[in-house]
Chains A and B, each alone.
Chain A
Amino acid sequence: DAGITQSPRHKVTETGTPVTLRCHQTENHRYMYWYRQDPGHGLRLIHYSYGVKDTDKGEVSDGYSVSRSKTEDFLLTLESATSSQTSVYFCAISDIGIGTTGYEQYFGPGTRLTVT
């Protein structure tokens, strides 16, 4: 499982509340990613990080922010959750030094978020 954990694994929250999801890795990998997965849309990149305090937007970043203050943790925050953010959220890691191509991504177990 490449030493990736996500917390919480399940969360139900109300519209308008802030929510923070955590991704933790134990292998000091450089790149970390947050995806959401919805029926009919596949995996869509929200934000990614290429180092401590180095982050950038992905395909569907509106309504989300991220922070990476140390190598092992990548936090995804929904500032004011909406029902459209109900989804399964996956964290992934990659690094030049792992795998053969350097592009391989390995996924955490996911967080199922429901916004009511």
Chain B
Amino acid sequence: QKEVEQNSGPLSVPEGAIASLNCTYSDRGSQSFFWYRQYSGKSPELIMFIYSNGDKEDGRFTAQLNKASQYVSLLIRDSQPSDSATYLCAVNSDRNAGNMLTFGGGTRLMVKP
């Protein structure tokens, strides 16, 4: 079982809809959770992080964390074609000295005009 799991997609939503991206993780000791956006041919870009249970909102983006269920999600409201990208979930690991993150495989989002 992979440590961080994401549905690879593609997830297709119409413009203006809410896109819901999900991620599960296996390490109960994980404390910080990150969402990266990666456009085709580009490097990953950090868009949000969350470390407390509940919701965290930033503009059109909302991150949701449920540590009991080991589940983190990203909601994108009023989805735009420019949101079409691959979204990577990442989770911190305290098990060594490297300040490391473990990444999921990513979910490809397609927003159709």
**CB within 8 Å of B: which residues of A?**
30-31, 33, 40-43, 45, 48, 50, 56, 58, 90, 94, 96, 99-110
With a cutoff of 8 Å between Cβ atoms, the chain B residues found around residue A45 in the complex are 100
In the complex where A41-B105, A43-B44, A110-B43 touch, is A101 in contact with B98 (Cβ < 8 A)? no
Say which residue of A56, A106, A107 sits within 8 Å of B98 (CB atoms).
Answer: A56
In the complex where A43-B88, A56-B96 touch, is A105 in contact with B101 (Cβ < 8 A)? yes
Q: Can you list 9 contacts pairing A with B, beta carbon distance less than 8 Å? A: A45-B100, A96-B99, A99-B49, A101-B92, A102-B99, A103-B34, A103-B101, A108-B43, A109-B42
Residue of A with least CB distance to B51: A101
With a cutoff of 8 Å between Cβ atoms, the chain B residues found around residue A110 in the complex are 42-43
Give the 10 A-B CB pairs with smallest separation, nearest first.
A42-B105, A107-B43, A103-B92, A101-B32, A43-B103, A48-B98, A31-B99, A103-B32, A107-B44, A110-B43
**CB within 8 Å of A: which residues of B?**
31-32, 34, 42-46, 49, 51, 88, 90, 92, 96-101, 103-106
Main secondary structure of the interface of A (DSSP, over half): loop
What CA separation (Å) do A102 and B98 show in the bound complex?
12
With a cutoff of 8 Å between Cβ atoms, the chain A residues found around residue B51 in the complex are 101
With a cutoff of 8 Å between Cβ atoms, the chain A residues found around residue B104 in the complex are 42
What CA separation (Å) do A90 and B101 show in the bound complex?
14
What CA separation (Å) do A62 and B98 show in the bound complex?
18
Say which residue of B49, B97, B100 sits within 8 Å of A100 (CB atoms).
Answer: B49
**New A-B contacts (8) at CB < 8 Å, excluding given A33-B100, A43-B44:** A40-B105, A42-B88, A48-B100, A56-B98, A58-B100, A101-B49, A101-B51, A103-B99
Residue of A with least CB distance to B86: A42
What CA separation (Å) do A82 and B88 show in the bound complex?
28
